[in-house]
Amino acid sequence: MPPSSRFLTLADVAEVLSTSSAQVYALVRRGELPAIKIGGRGQWRVETSQLEAYIDRMYDEARAFVDAHPFTEGDAKAEPPAE
């Protein structure tokens, strides 16, 4: 993520999150990742501060999940969930 850029394209966000542009678009359309639409063609842009806030929320959700579902030795034998 370029340090001087206030706004990122969905492709830039996808690169930061190591996911697809389609997944980022879905996050935006569901309202999970705030974004703005600019220009006549309605291109989406995500403010870097919104992306950082989203990442922080995802860490909080992951922490809550781990707290609610403690790891057991039986889990070590199971296959990890699909990404």
> Looking at the domain covering 7-70, what would its CATH class be?
mainly alpha
Give the pLDDT mean for 72-83. 71
At residue 83, the pLDDT reads 66
Domain map (residue ranges) of the chain: 7-70
Whether the pLDDT of residue 77 is over 80: the answer is no
Strands (E), 1-83: 7-8, 36-38, 43-47
pTM of this structure: 0.80
Whether the pLDDT of residue 52 is over 90: the answer is yes
Collect all residues with Cβ–Cβ distance below 8 Å to 82 and sequence separation of at least 6: none
Whether the pLDDT of residue 1 is over 60: the answer is no
Collect all residues with Cβ–Cβ distance below 8 Å to 32 and sequence separation of at least 6: 54
At residue 58, the pLDDT reads 98
